[in-house]
Amino acid sequence: METDLLQHEQRLYEQLCNPHNLWCGFLATKKNKGAPGIDGQTLADFEAKLKTEIPQLSKELASWTYKPQPVRRVEIDKPDGGVRLLGIPTVRDRVVHSAIKILLEPYLIPRFSKHSYGFMPWRNQQQAVAAAQRIVQSGKEWVVDIDLSKFFDRINHDRLIMRLSLTIKDTRILRLIGEILRCGIMENGLLTASNEGSVQGSPLSPLLSNVVLDELDKELERKGLEFCRFADDCNIFVRTPKAAERVMKNTSKFIEKKLKLKVNQEKSQVARSEKVKFLGMTIINGHVAISAKSMQRAMDKVKALTPRGTHLTLGKTMAKINQWFKGWSSYYSMTQYPAQFGKIEAHIRRRIRARLVDQQKSRRNLYRKLMKRKVPRKQAAKAAYSHDKRWALSRCRAVEKAYPNRWFTEEVGQFIRSKERRATWFDVTEWIRLV
């Protein structure tokens, strides 16, 4: 049986050339969507010619005439400043990458550490945070928070292929992966060689990143340390600050000397768990909470969704807020401090009240609007004819009385439409609190 398994591993390249596996790679690529690469071919264009594209890819791979094309360089802003460099392979290259990923996962994933949660089937951020919480509750409240500087851009190709060869015995697959890693980067018409790194944007990169960092996982396990890792975000938990400093020093040395990666000393830290952000969360007194940075980003997002002078109707604005808030609250539902959702809700309400105030072009119109909303005459006059600006007025008693919290669920809800159901963003929060 072991002989059959070895022979099966050594025939991985034949499986890659099989049109059926390339078709599976296309389905995975289509599910992930994505922009066109340097050739301008879209997913729809590729799908329209699928009956000829897949056999052509199979033929090129079998004859070794297939050559990965350079990736298209794209820059996106990071939430905390700076830019993240992404690379977009062509659609046909992404199909090959996805097919390789599908073939390699059954061999690689079972060998990965149980402390690794990123890019793994049936594992997610919530499980990683829950594991970190259990460790902190056990008494290991000091965290070694290691930040890797430009991790994907610094992956050492030789070490990666070496680590892969320990499990993958078909050298032709390893050769093809090497060609993919060295395919080059196209930016503003100029081709740059890629002598190190794995392109963020390739379907294969997340799996390869776990191969690289699994060596770190094994080293931490060998030393008996408790840790949680999600992609390149790794937290190690110990009982004392002295032990944390020692672990930080030794682990940083291992990462830089052995893995040929670079530790970002400015962002790495040794601190108690309540001072450390892990996947947008922090653990305070053994309880999970949304980190201060994540809360601030949410507040900034609400502000961006409710700008002054927008051409969007109130209904469309509310629909956009609803769409964002459902996704945001779904992820951060792991918090054990429901008041954090209340803070975001209150901010949304105040931003909308400020907009409603701003829509009244004169103080007299605002006074009449408040009266129409059944605000007492003196209270309406005091608010409307004060020297306060829109933001201050949005929190005054008269405006809150005119547009109480129930107004947002009863009346604004009519703007939110769905084919399946009608909802407002408050429904999501109430569901979170119930569960």
Give pLDDT, residue 80.
Answer: 66
Q: Which two tokens stand for residue 263?
A: 């530790």
Q: What is the Cα–Cα distance from 270 to 277, expressed in whole angstroms?
A: 12
Give pLDDT, residue 1.
Answer: 42
Handedness of CA 162, 72, 94, 90 (dihedral sign): negative
Give pLDDT, residue 121.
Answer: 84
Give pLDDT, residue 411.
Answer: 60
152 C-beta neighbours (distance < 10 Å), count: 23
Handedness of CA 201, 202, 205, 207 (dihedral sign): positive
Q: Which two tokens stand for residue 116?
A: 């690794």
> Strand 185-187 and strand 71-77: pairing?
parallel
Q: What is the Cα–Cα distance from 370 to 245, expressed in whole angstroms?
A: 60
From first to last of its 435 residues, the chain has per-residue pLDDT tens of 444 444 555 689 999 999 999 999 999 999 999 899 999 999 999 999 999 999 999 999 999 999 999 999 888 877 666 677 788 999 999 999 999 999 999 999 999 999 999 998 889 999 999 999 999 999 999 999 999 988 998 999 999 999 999 999 999 999 999 999 999 998 888 888 888 989 888 999 999 999 999 999 999 999 999 999 999 999 999 999 999 999 999 999 999 999 999 999 888 999 999 999 999 999 999 999 999 999 999 999 999 998 887 777 877 888 888 889 989 999 999 999 999 999 999 999 999 999 999 888 899 999 999 999 999 999 999 999 998 899 999 999 999 999 998 888 776 555 544 433 434 444 444 433 332
Give pLDDT, residue 136.
Answer: 96
Counting other chains too, the contacts that 214-222 makes at CB distance below 8 Å and 24 or more residues apart are 214/111, 214/112, 214/113, 214/116, 214/163, 215/163, 215/258, 215/259, 216/251, 216/254, 216/255, 216/259, 217/112, 217/113, 217/115, 217/116, 218/113, 219/251, 219/254, 219/258, 220/115, 220/251, 221/113, 221/115
Least Cα distance to 267 among 259, 277, 257 occurs for: 277
Eight-class DSSP state of 263: B
pTM (2 d.p.): 0.84
Alpha-helical runs (H) found in 193-337? 205-222, 241-257, 292-305, 314-331
Residue 370 in contact with residue 384, Cβ under 8 Å?
yes
3-class DSSP state of 260 = coil
3-class DSSP state of 215 = helix
